[in-house]
Amino acid sequence: MSNLDRRRFLTTVAALGGTAMLAGCDRFAGSAYGPRTLKAGEDANLFVQRLLLSNASLAKEFPDSEISAVFKPNGTIDPPDKAYKALAASNFSTFKLEVGGLVERPQSFGLADLRALPSRTQTTRHDCVEGWSCIGKWSGVPLAEVLNRAGLKPQARYVVFHCADTLEYAGGGLEAGKDGAFLQPENPSAVRHVQVAAAGNDADAWGGAPAEEPEETRTPIRYYESIDLTDAFHPQTILAYDLNGKPLPVSNGAPLRLRLERQLGYKQAKYVMRIEVVESLARIGDGQGGYWEDRGYEWYAGI
């Protein structure tokens, strides 16, 4: 089976699995055997991908003639947080990407710093778990360049991406019509973990201007994702700052988004503000490695 045929096969299987999950896996996942079965399927996906492909095997890259006329945004398209809005208003001139956790030399990069590092451009297909695909040309800094400058400690195992977009609030979802349409938890009492401090209070950490006292007093739960070191050092794993030769639009994740070309779209974290290197994912969110993974999606979404 060629790499392309295998990618199409796994994309189809993953899309069917995602549809099944959205359609009625709640009862299955809540059963005594459901979580074990789902975890076994995820482990098998990881095993097959690592077995059939080398760590440096590349996802298919396309000619510019096949670039989609419009690259459809996925997930959040305009984060409501005051600190993010302040950064966007300044064209991200004061943005700082913080790199910490299990590193020897914590780092802080502005966009100009990142653009000065070695870069990679790749034209690839984005496959969404919802079943649609787009082809785009991404330019950015390989994640390996950033991690090598920070230096990993021996116990480092995972890289966690903390993002700017609030998807819900602990104790309740965003009010419809106030900041746009955002996801609301079906069971607010089940929301147990919080990724960040109160909304609007991250301006200093992200490099934005200090925000005014926030009107919103609930605590936001923001998007996060994680990958292991094998994927972190893959040549096509980049922190993208350009899409189709232009600075990344807000709707597609400005100022930085992760491109992880051998996995499904929900792994491609947008609005990346901070990178944390950890030994275990247990203390992050609900311990499953990502916002959607905490809600039942697979942590490894290989295609």
CATH number at residue 180: 3.90.420.10
Closest CA to 223 of 287, 166, 283, 280: 166
* Residue 302: predicted pLDDT: 86
Q: Is the pLDDT of residue 238 over 50?
A: yes
Nearest-angstrom CA–CA distance, 186 and 164: 22
The answer to whether residue 41 is domain-embedded is no
Average pLDDT over residues 10-19: 45
The answer to whether residue 215 is domain-embedded is yes
> For the chain, how many structural domains are there in total?
1
Nearest-angstrom CA–CA distance, 49 and 138: 23
The answer to whether residue 216 is domain-embedded is yes
Residue 104: which pLDDT band, with cuts at 50, 70 and 90? very high
Scan for tokens 């609900």, then name that residue. Answer: 286
- The answer to which of 170-174, 183-187, 257-261, 262-266 has the lowest mean pLDDT is 183-187
Residue 17: which pLDDT band, with cuts at 50, 70 and 90? very low
The answer to whether residue 212 is domain-embedded is yes
Nearest-angstrom CA–CA distance, 245 and 67: 12
Greatest C-alpha distance within the chain = 58
Residue 95: which pLDDT band, with cuts at 50, 70 and 90? very high
- The answer to which of 6-10, 91-95, 96-100, 102-106 has the lowest mean pLDDT is 6-10
- The tens digit of pLDDT for each residue in 133-149 reads 999 999 999 999 999 99
Q: Prior bond to 255 cis, omega within 30? A: yes
Domain of residue 144, residue span? 58-295
Other C-beta atoms within 10 Å of 193: how many? Answer: 12
> Under DSSP, is residue 40 helix (H, G, I), strand (E, B) or coil?
helix
- The answer to which of 52-56, 95-99, 271-275 has the lowest mean pLDDT is 52-56
The answer to whether residue 263 is domain-embedded is yes
- Prediction pTM value: 0.74
Pairing of strands 272-278, 158-169: antiparallel
The answer to whether residue 128 is domain-embedded is yes
- The tens digit of pLDDT for each residue in 37-88 reads 444 545 555 555 555 555 678 999 999 999 999 999 988 999 988 999 999 9
Average pLDDT over residues 1-18: 47
